[in-house]
């Protein structure tokens, strides 16, 4: 499978999108390193090659950074994983901008309140960052916790969403 990639400049730095031939986002992140983004895609979906092109999702990124934080909600993504991961990724998309959850609250929202580590793992294995907003999950003490693209980006995204909501 061949996929396309597009890199945009954002206030948080370069943002690269890798999308399949149906324009579903397979992975994305704050880097100009296409291979770093491609490598986050599950091996079953990972394209052998990527070529530069126009990703439909780029319009949603531009709108998000212009203040329409809900623009990312309509972007179609494609991920594969365990049943709990798929449920978790869908649940991440349901977290309202400006209203982050703690990992404990996220685990409870999944119906597994004692599965805090599994909830954190769902966030860590999320490939289409921004479109599946794993940045909206925080540690129970309110600190940022992990984020593949760095704490400064996570902090900036949360601040942007809080201001827009």
Active site residue 123: no
**Strands, DSSP E only, in the chain?**
2-10, 13-19, 25-29, 49-52, 101-102, 137-138
Boundary of a domain, candidates 74, 108, 137: 74
Residue 142 belongs to domain with CATH number: 1.10.10.10
Domain that holds residue 100: 83-164
- pLDDT mean across residues, the chain: 95
Residue positions counted in the chain: 165
pLDDT at 145: 83
pLDDT at 8: 98
105 and 33 in a common domain: no
Boundary of a domain, candidates 74, 106, 133: 74
104 and 68 in a common domain: no
Candidates 50, 109, 134, 158; catalytic one: 134
- Which structure tokens are listed for 29? 């992140």
- Whether pLDDT at 130 is above 90: yes
pLDDT at 148: 92
pLDDT at 49: 92
- Which structure tokens are listed for 146? 């992990």
d(CA 87, CA 34): 27
Instruction: Give the mean pLDDT of 154-165.
Output: 92
67 and 87 in a common domain: no
C-alpha dihedral, 18 to 24 to 28 to 32, nearest 10°: 30
The structural domain count of the chain equals: 2
pLDDT at 26: 98
Boundary of a domain, candidates 74, 97, 122: 74
């Amino acid at each position: 499978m061949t996929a396309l990639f597009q890199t945009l400049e954002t206030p948080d730095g370069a943002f690269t999108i890798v999308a399949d031939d149906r324009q579903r986002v397979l992975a994305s992140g704050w880097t100009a390193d296409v291979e770093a983004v491609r490598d986050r895609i599950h091996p079953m979906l990972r394209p052998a090659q990527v070529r530069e092109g126009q990703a439909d999702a780029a319009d949603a990124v531009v709108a998000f950074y212009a203040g329409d934080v809900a623009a990312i909600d309509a972007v179609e993504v494609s991920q594969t994983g365990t049943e709990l991961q798929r449920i978790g990724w869908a649940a991440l998309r349901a977290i309202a901008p400006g209203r982050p959850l703690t990992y404990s609250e996220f685990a409870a929202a999944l119906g597994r309140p004692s599965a805090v580590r599994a909830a954190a793992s769902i966030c860590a294995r999320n490939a289409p960052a921004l479109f599946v907003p794993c940045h909206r999950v925080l540690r129970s003490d309110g600190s940022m916790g992990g984020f593949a693209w760095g704490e400064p980006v996570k902090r900036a995204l949360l601040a942007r969403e809080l201001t827009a909501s």
